[in-house]
Copies of this chain bind each other. A is one copy, B any other.
Amino acid sequence: MKFWARTLVGWLLAVALPTAWSAVEDGYDLWLRYRPLPPQAAAALAAQARSLVIAPGAATSPVLSAALGDLQRGIQGLTGRLPAVATVPQPGALLLVTPATAPAGLTLPWQALGGEGYLLRRVRLQGREVTVIAANADRGLLYGSFAWLRAAQTGADLARLDEFSAPRLPLRLLNHWDNLDRSVERGYAGSSIWDWWKLPDLRDARYVDYARANASLGINGTVLNNVNAKAESLTAPYLAKAAALAQVFRPYGLRVYLSARFSAPVELGGLQTADPLDPAVRAWWRAKADEIYRAIPDFGGFLVKANSEGQPGPQDYGRSHADGANMLAEVLAPHGGIVMWRAFVYAPDARDRAAQGFAEFQPLDGQFAANVIVQVKNGPIDFQPREPFHPLFGAMPRTATALEVQITKEYLGFSTHLVYLGPLFEEVLRADTHRPAPGATVARQITAMAGVANIGTDRNWCGSHFDCANWYAFGRLAWDTDLAAARVAREWVQQTFTRDRRAVDTVTALMLDSREAVVDYMTPLGLHHLMGTGHHHGPAPWVSDLERADWNPTYFHRAGPDGIGFDRSPRGSGSVAQYAPALAARWSEPATTPEALLLWFHHLPWDHRMASGRTLWQELVAHYDRGVARVEAMREQWAGLRGVVDARRHAEVTAYLAVQAREARWWRDACLAYFQAVSGLPWPAGTQPPAEALEAYRARRFKFAPGQGG
């Protein structure tokens, strides 16, 4: 070896590698890590991506540039080789083509791709083996590029690549509950990533990475501010801030939306009313819409929470939700904007909280303008660990509806509990509404999917590494509602942690088990709404003194000496009738109601006999115990990955799992202490009584719990 070579090798080994290898796994890179592959795999991948081929002049498209940017970054990161951008395909090239730029002789099913879909295919072109990323528009090329990178990162066989994908839902949106003071309602990952104060002058580099991450999943819209909205977000200074974000997001196919405060004409316009039928109000909104579109030409539209939890709305003026939504829809329509009108409302009648949204909205079916989407939470209560699907799905056939899920874990342990939400999303998407007939799943009833974001200023974005899997799962399932949560978990693990097969198997299994674990240790057998008041941290089934009856946990579980559960059968509130007749009949009888939803629909005696042969009381204790045991099993599984997963993230997850184990036991002990006191029943044989007395659990206070901003 010559001197210079020795010197070079020495310097590289001494200087370059330690720096390269010291790249800390702090979670910031999410599933777009692009870490170097082992030499053989890197060489194999590089052979599939020697160059990136685009049509002459095509690179001037900002969206295509964004696609090329991540392809280059990804290929360089994974293989160490920066692929050249060329216009002539050589063997091993990656071609990004649209119908207008496709080489002669390349026949592809363009029609099926729609406006956003893509096709990844290995083809032989003029005697050369190349890969095409094909789409009808640059947005599709962007999504296809990220799909190719996903295939590359998960170890797919790129030499046999043939992947077609097009989204069924045209709208796949994040909803940020971010306030203008940077607090985040139900946020557990630091404060808002929108630095409103410094915008529009300062554009944090993080905004680009946020857009990249969303584009990699196919998320195509983001509502910037809290549904409990401040009117100020519609003033010129704040529109300029939103416009700056829109400019950053545009190359990534991500449109900006805003939550609109219904009373803004009063607060900002100085009008005496916000009555949607008042001509001055309509004129104010029209002018405001025009102003917004001057600032943000591709503005997506408004999200509105009206007449809900104290928010103003059309009912303040004796008008209906349809009147309010249609008024806004009318001013947005000329610009191509939409209104997402939330169906999460409280009715004055508190007899059955679960029935209120349906009762309010279903009769309005057919009255909404074409560019209104009624946004419905996955279940009729509020993002509980398990709820049946919301009865509005399928019940408004003449209305466009959106499915709203919560990615942030308001009721599922904040960011310290490991709960993979893929199975929850999958469960609701695949739920069969039976409307008009069996097989009509929720996924087939909706035109949009919205996820309440769990993103904040924490370095790892979501407050914990595993909570990023929920952002990921939301985006992937919104893109393709038929995807299996298990597959999504697996590909997330491969990209985020490691491709080591044993580790991938272990982590995937752990994730898939985690949702049932949280149901078991918080609210098994159809129980719901047992959490602490206000902050929603921890158990408080004993709370019974809140202003509205249907804010109290006791209202929901109705536990007493006679039994437990909310009777929604025809013998009770009767709200089961809001479901399709076949389902209503099935869920009206305990015997034909799935045990997972038993106490949602029925009030049953403690000695009710379960399928297991146990009494209901014994079964309840068994579920709580199983939840605690499952978390302990998750800890053990994770502990076994020490040395396989990088040290920092392994230690961080280990610490979180310790919190989760402690709090799972707390949930179990506090709930069972209460239910035991109410039922007066003895502890089932072989079960442990709670560690502390009921009063000790009741005395706990959490004044500074996060997520109460706003």
Contacts and interface: CB of A to CB of B under 8 A. Distances in A.
A465 to B, nearest CB: 12
A273 to B, nearest CB: 23
Interface in A643-658: 648, 652, 655-656, 658
Contact of A9 (B5, B14, B704): B5
Contact of A39 (B11, B79, B182, B706): B11
Nearest to A658: B201
A112 interface: no
Interface string A1-45: 110010111011111111110011010000000001001001000
A571 interface: no
A416 interface: yes
A14 to B, nearest CB: 4
B18 A82 contact: yes
B80 A14 contact: yes
A533 B198 CA distance: 20
Nearest to A188: B197
**How many copies of the shown chain assemble into the complex?**
2
Interface in A227-286: 232
Contact of A20 (B1, B5, B16, B232): B16
A356 interface: no
Contact of A706 (B15, B17, B197, B659): B197
A656 B77 contact: no
A16 B12 contact: yes
Nearest to A181: B704
Contacts of A203: 655
A203 to B, nearest CB: 8
B197 A705 contact: yes
A190 interface: yes
Contact of A77 (B12, B19, B206): B19
A23 B18 CA distance: 12
B648 A205 contact: yes
A710 B7 CA distance: 58
B12 A655 contact: no
Nearest to A2: B1
Interface residues of A, number: 59
A346 interface: no
A17 B9 contact: no
Interface string A459-496: 10000000000000000000000000000000000000
Interface in A408-460: 414, 416, 457-459
Contacts of A416: 198, 201-202
Nearest to A705: B197
Contacts of A652: 202
A79 B9 CA distance: 15
A144 B636 CA distance: 44
A191 interface: yes
A180 interface: yes
Contact of A42 (B8, B15, B81): B15
Contacts of A1: 1-2, 5
Interface string A78-101: 011110000000000000000000
A9 B12 contact: yes
A548 interface: no
Nearest to A232: B703
A360 to B, nearest CB: 33
A141 B196 CA distance: 44
Interface of A: 1-2, 5, 7-9, 11-20, 23-24, 26, 36, 39, 42, 76-77, 79-82, 180-183, 190-191, 196-198, 201-203, 205-206, 232, 414, 416, 457-459, 648, 652, 655-656, 658-659, 703-706, 708
Given A9-B9, A19-B19, 7 more contacts: A11-B80, A15-B20, A18-B76, A24-B205, A26-B205, A197-B706, A198-B659
What 6 A-B pairs have minimum CB-CB distances, sorted nearest first?
A15-B80, A14-B80, A19-B20, A12-B12, A180-B704, A20-B20
